Amino acid sequence: MDNKNNQWRQDFPILDQKVNDENLVYLDNAATTQKPQTVIDDLVNFYQNDNANVHRGVHTLAERSTEQFETAREKIQKFINAEHSDEIIYTKGTTDALNIIARSYGAENIVAGDEIVISYLEHHSNLIPWQQLAIQKHAVLKYIELDDDGFVDLADAKKKITDKTKIVSIAHVSNVLGVINPVKEIAQIAHSHGAVMVVDGAQSVPHMPVDVQDLDCDFLAFSGHKMLGPTGIGILYGKEKLLNAMPPVDFGGEMINFVHLYETSWNDLPWKFEAGTPNIAGAIVLGYAVDYLSKIGMQNIFDYENELVDYVLPKLLNIEGLTVYGPQDPAKHTSVISFNLDGLHPHDLATGLDMEGVAVRAGHHCAQPLMTYLGISATARASFYFYNTKEDADILVNSIVATKEFFKNGTV
């Protein structure tokens, strides 16, 4: 892809608008991504032509809906290179998927005195479920330290993961520091001690090739809305052997085999974990979003975003009074860039940028323990995707400088 003439940008109609009389520069992709017109059309097409509940229906619309629903599952299986399609569980998103692991695998396998190991950079979705499980089970929750660049420290991981460890859960990519953590190596450490490896893939699956068999993770969670799909749909990947041994956590229709008055038998994978009418349209359209991403190529997306970071990060580091968190070397930094400007609250900085048409996020980014670890309360965060350009990057830099001058002098 060409930075100067991004061929994919025209597919995203929402980007062609003005905000506060300025051209929109959307840099909040770590929170949610925009949708290409084709994916929007796919959603409308389903509701206009094929809408029906899935499974068990014998009429034509039900059969069409079911076929698309299960075809999307197979697309997602191939996208992350899972061994079996029944290892792909539809969920509401990353948060829901991680909670299912904690409430099912965790509840069944953690006893008093066991250890659960996470890191200081985890999103609340990959922290609170384990924190609460540890409280309920009287287990020990341990945190892996970060190195000077903000990566999960492998040396400390080797110390923290012991024969008492039963679960290790780490974010593949930090939603604050923009680091790609060595989850494959951490999985090897975890497995050497008999623990399972959980990967929060919310910020990695949309931006780079992810191969669950190569990583040898036991579970992976990610969200559709961060990869061009609708909100309210996500994926829990789990190794078939583990999922088969896990009890369901939600009960009702679809997830049963046979219901007696005083006992019930469960359905097979993956439907055992998909109680009730699922987000049918969301799942189908996530499959189409995967088609769109696959057409571009995940390695191409990863390489292009690296080019953007190579371009913008040095410019940001040259702004006097601006602190960038995470690696200072562009080669070590993904397209998630968090920063603070001296003397200015992140919310004020984000408001100033919005007046320039630049959409960034400000706050603790659902990572309050990481903020405490860094000795700050919040940051502003710009996050790029493949439809962003070097021009967007320049506008971000210039808008930060303009906002700095406005608050310094009272004029732009």
Give the separation between CA 388 and CA 305, rounded to whole angstroms: 9
Give the separation between CA 317 and CA 314, rounded to whole angstroms: 5
Give the separation between CA 101 and CA 115, rounded to whole angstroms: 16
Q: Retrieve residue 306's tokens.
A: 């690296």
Q: Is the peptide bond before 129 cis (omega within 30 degrees of 0)?
A: no
Q: Would you say 369 and 146 are in contact if contact means Cβ atoms under 8 Å apart?
A: no
Question: Known catalytic residue: 366?
Answer: yes
Nearest 10 degrees: Cα torsion 336, 124, 121, 205: -50
Give the separation between CA 331 and CA 309, rounded to whole angstroms: 8
Q: How many residues does the chain have?
A: 412
In sequence order, the 6+-apart residues with CB closer than 8 A to the CB of 63 are 57
Which of 366, 371, 376, 401 is flagged as catalytic? 366
Q: Would you say 408 and 52 are in contact if contact means Cβ atoms under 8 Å apart?
A: no
Residue with token string 């996050």: 383
Query: Which residues are designated catalytic?
Result: 366
